[in-house]
């Protein structure tokens, strides 16, 4: 049996004045509360979890009760430090191995694996560590056993704020306040094994200062492929014109329009900005705290293997290796600019570094813009701008590009996409092996014979940038000749975005009338393209989550499945085997 213990008694003075209103364990991180995140991580190991309280204890206790968190609380009349906190809870901890987690650490570290290793190796104490300069102060031997603490040539590891203890070390604790470092040193002196386990994680933050807190919040945005988080309870979010990252937590009211870049507004804040432009601020009740951002910023890359950095008002895209896509990005950028299709300008190309520098269009994608509830009319207006530009690409620029060297969306490529769906989603994620040869052949056969135009080919909301009322298209290097309905399906039936059907119908009609298309023929093409696109998207989500370790893509699968079910129900052709398969997948979604 394993138990957990959360350290949450401290005053958090470095985070004042925030912590005068919100105790550090209750700090919000783009919609989730730090304490709940820590609890969830420990709860994967055990249901027996304790927490020590002192500063703003009632506020934390009230939250625990409100959220019905099964935590056993240990109140301290005075701050006992970590060693004293364990001594105070020794009757709870004395009969099992226990994990101690600092209440200001936000991470997805592999604690479960570390606990298993601790038990198998019969350690007395296992410190979960990482290489984190300049906090590398642990001195260890070649086997990873702790020798001491200090700055020396041998100190190359940092304590992560998480440790695992065997219960016999509790006997080494004095009554009253004591340092946990003293416990480690006393354990070594008594011949107990104090070892280190190098953790793995995709993120780790010590939320000790306003800057650290902002970094943790903005990193969560990046992991969720957005630059904006708006809690559903917010009033007035449409008054913010984002020019960078924006986070607005629960029960906030905005009273006046402003432009904002790198802004966090804390819960229950009523905010009337005094300036039209604000940047690099944490805003709370009657206070604003500035923070600095790093000169080089890592940007979200979604499903791409390419790396994106922002420096000196340029966005640098770095390829792992020179490829056809690298050359196509440059060639297509030149072609699109010549034809007036809005893509970011290329400012520099460094073939040796496999890097292209683009103009900086900011952080606001269509996906991020839609994180704030918008009126239908505003949504229609933005989408019509997008459709006007895509229509120009489809039915204008395409006529001027007969010699453009682009691949074709032919029968084999349609079948590659549908097989991608079967292999990476149906089989890999849901463990279903299904033969849909006849139906998938039929879809590919019909679409491969459709009239072909230049497609963006990945026209979803994260590949459309908004800046100063204009739209721009990114990630266009997979453009190819194919049926126009594929781009329209990608845009208007995007699993990332919940558009209502009334808006979809208006926008499809707008596109058809703008280009005088045969309505019946286009709607039939569109119905098959919707099916095809959602199979491709589901294959991508499976591949990226399982093969590339980007687990956040799993959250889009339920919406993509619902869209595919609707596609099949509304299609003019009955694909009964595919429909049955998708209904079976829907029943299994909770398992992923």
Does 486 map to a domain? yes
Four-residue CA torsion sign, 455, 458, 460, 463: negative
Does 265 map to a domain? yes
- Its domain, for residue 267, covers 227-290
β partners of residue 200: none
Q: Are 33 and 26 in contact (CB under 8 A)?
A: yes
Between CA 452 and CA 315 the distance in angstroms is 33
DSSP character string of 46-97? -S-EEEEE-TTHHHHHHHHHHTT--EEEEE-SS--HHHHHHHHTHHHHTTSE
Q: Mark whether 272 and 381 lie in a shared domain.
A: no
pLDDT 10s digits, 381-408: 999 999 999 999 999 999 988 778 899 9
Q: Are 335 and 352 in contact (CB under 8 A)?
A: no
pLDDT, mean of residues 220-231:
92
H or E element: which one contains 564? helix 557-570
pLDDT 10s digits, 29-87: 999 999 999 999 999 999 999 999 999 999 999 999 999 999 999 999 999 999 999 99
- How far lies 498's CA from each of 4, 71, 348, 384, 495, in Å? 39, 36, 37, 17, 7
Q: Is a pLDDT exceeding 90 seen at residue 133?
A: no
Q: Mark whether 87 and 113 lie in a shared domain.
A: yes
Q: Mark whether 378 and 343 lie in a shared domain.
A: no
Percentage of the residues of the chain whose pLDDT score is greater than 70: 98
pLDDT band of 89, cuts 50, 70, 90: very high
Burial profile 368-383: b = 16 or more Cβ within 10 angstroms, e = fewer? bbbbbeeeeeebbebb
Domain CATH for 184: 3.90.550.10
Does 258 map to a domain? yes
What's residue 152's pLDDT? 63
Q: Is a pLDDT exceeding 70 seen at residue 154?
A: no
Q: Is a pLDDT exceeding 80 seen at residue 155?
A: no
Does 220 map to a domain? no
- How far lies 531's CA from each of 433, 526, 550, 561, in Å? 19, 9, 24, 10
Burial profile 81-118: b = 16 or more Cβ within 10 angstroms, e = fewer? bbbbbbbbbeebbeeebbbbbbbbbbbebbbeebbeeb
Q: Mark whether 402 and 492 lie in a shared domain.
A: yes
- How many other β-carbons are positioned within 10 Å of the β-carbon of residue 524? 17
Q: Mark whether 377 and 338 lie in a shared domain.
A: no
Q: Mark whether 187 and 130 lie in a shared domain.
A: yes
pLDDT band of 4, cuts 50, 70, 90: very high
Structure tokens at 18: 């925030």
pLDDT 10s digits, 42-53: 999 999 999 999
Q: Is a pLDDT exceeding 90 seen at residue 237?
A: yes
H or E element: which one contains 356? strand 355-359
Count of domains in the chain? 4
Burial profile 224-238: b = 16 or more Cβ within 10 angstroms, e = fewer? bbbbbbbbeebebbe
pLDDT, mean of residues 237-258:
94
State which of 206, 240, 258 marks the end of a domain: 206
Nearest partner of 272 among 286, 254, 288, 287, judged by Cα:
254
Does 214 map to a domain? no
Between CA 47 and CA 39 the distance in angstroms is 10
Does 283 map to a domain? yes
Does 159 map to a domain? yes
H or E element: which one contains 566? helix 557-570
Size of the chain, expressed as the number of residues it contains:
592
Q: Mark whether 51 and 138 lie in a shared domain.
A: yes
What's residue 402's pLDDT? 76
Q: Are 176 and 76 in contact (CB under 8 A)?
A: no
Mean pLDDT of all residues in the chain?
92
Q: Mark whether 284 and 301 lie in a shared domain.
A: no
Domain CATH for 435: 3.90.1200.10
State which of 275, 290, 305 marks the end of a domain: 290
Four-residue CA torsion sign, 40, 44, 47, 52: negative
pLDDT 10s digits, 575-584: 999 999 999 9
Q: Mark whether 172 and 193 lie in a shared domain.
A: yes
Q: Mark whether 9 and 68 lie in a shared domain.
A: yes
State which of 342, 359, 376 marks the end of a domain: 359
Nearest partner of 103 among 143, 142, 63, 155, judged by Cα:
63
pLDDT band of 1, cuts 50, 70, 90: confident
* Coil, helix or strand at residue 403: coil
Tokens 């349609």 map to which residue?
414
Going by DSSP bridges, is the β-strand pair 297-299/307-311 parallel, antiparallel, or unpaired? antiparallel
Q: Is a pLDDT exceeding 70 seen at residue 126?
A: yes
Q: Mark whether 234 and 257 lie in a shared domain.
A: yes
β partners of residue 258: 240
What's residue 527's pLDDT? 97
Domain CATH for 324: 3.30.200.20
Does 479 map to a domain? yes
H or E element: which one contains 412? helix 411-420
pLDDT 10s digits, 480-517: 999 999 999 999 999 999 999 999 999 999 999 999 99
pLDDT band of 550, cuts 50, 70, 90: confident
What's residue 301's pLDDT? 61
Q: Mark whether 17 and 150 lie in a shared domain.
A: yes
């Amino acid at each position: 049996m394993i138990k957990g213990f959360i350290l949450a008694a401290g005053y958090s003075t470095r985070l004042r004045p925030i912590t005068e209103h919100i105790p550090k364990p209750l700090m919000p991180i783009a919609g989730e509360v730090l304490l709940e995140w820590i609890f969830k991580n420990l709860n994967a190991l055990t249901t027996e979890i304790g927490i020590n309280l002192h500063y703003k204890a009632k506020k934390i206790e009230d939250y625990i009760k409100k959220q019905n968190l099964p935590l056993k609380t240990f109140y301290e009349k005075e701050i006992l430090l970590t060693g004293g906190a364990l001594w105070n809870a020794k009757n709870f901890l004395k009969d099992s191995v226990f994990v101690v987690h600092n209440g200001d650490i936000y991470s997805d570290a592999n604690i479960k694996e570390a606990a298993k290793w601790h038990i198998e190796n019969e350690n007395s104490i296992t410190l979960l560590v990482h290489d984190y300069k300049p906090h590398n102060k642990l001195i260890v031997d070649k086997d990873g056993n702790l020798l001491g603490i200090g700055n020396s040539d041998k100190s190359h590891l940092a304590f992560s704020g998480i440790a695992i203890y065997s219960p016999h070390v509790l006997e080494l604790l004095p009554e009253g306040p004591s340092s946990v470092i003293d416990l480690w040193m006393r354990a070594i002196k008594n011949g107990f094994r104090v070892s280190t386990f190098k953790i793995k994680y995709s993120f780790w933050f010590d939320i000790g200062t306003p800057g650290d807190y902002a970094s943790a919040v903005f990193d969560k945005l990046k992991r969720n492929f957005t630059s904006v988080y708006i809690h559903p309870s917010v009033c007035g979010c449409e008054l913010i014109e984002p020019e960078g990252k924006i986070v607005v937590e629960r029960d906030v009211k905005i009273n006046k329009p402003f432009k904002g870049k790198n802004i966090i507004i804390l819960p229950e804040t009523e905010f009337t900005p005094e300036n039209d432009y604000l940047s690099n601020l944490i805003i709370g009740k009657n206070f604003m705290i500035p923070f600095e951002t790093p000169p080089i910023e890592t940007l979200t890359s979604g499903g791409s293997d390419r790396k994106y950095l922002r420096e000196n008002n340029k966005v640098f895209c770095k390829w792992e290796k020179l490829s056809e896509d690298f050359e196509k990005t440059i060639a297509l950028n030149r072609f699109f600019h010549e034809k007036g299709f809005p893509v970011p300008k290329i400012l520099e190309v460094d073939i040796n570094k496999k890097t292209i520098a683009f103009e900086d269009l900011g952080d606001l994608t269509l996906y991020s813009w839609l994180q704030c509830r918008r009126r239908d009319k505003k949504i229609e207006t933005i989408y019509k701008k997008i459709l006007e530009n895509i229509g120009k690409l489809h039915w204008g620029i395409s006529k001027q590009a007969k010699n453009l060297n682009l691949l074709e969306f032919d029968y084999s490529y349609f079948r590659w996409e549908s097989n991608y769906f079967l292999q990476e989603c149906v089989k890999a994620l849901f463990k279903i092996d299904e033969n849909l040869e006849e139906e998938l052949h039929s879809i590919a056969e019909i679409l491969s014979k459709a009239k072909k135009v230049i497609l963006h080919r990945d026209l979803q909301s994260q590949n459309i940038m908004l800046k100063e009322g204009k739209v721009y298209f990114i990630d266009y290097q997979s453009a190819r000749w194919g049926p126009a309905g594929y781009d329209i399906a990608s845009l208007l039936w995007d699993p990332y975005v919940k558009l209502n059907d009334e808006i979809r119908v208006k926008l499809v009609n707008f596109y058809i009338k703008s280009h005088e298309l045969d309505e019946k023929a286009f709607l039939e093409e569109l119905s098959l393209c919707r099916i095809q696109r959602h199979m491709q998207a589901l294959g991508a989500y499976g591949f990226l989550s399982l093969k590339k370790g980007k687990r956040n893509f799993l959250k889009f699968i339920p919406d993509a499945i619902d869209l595919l079910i609707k596609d099949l129900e509304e299609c003019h052709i009955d694909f009964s085997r595919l429909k049955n398969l998708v209904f079976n997948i829907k029943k299994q979604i909770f398992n992923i």
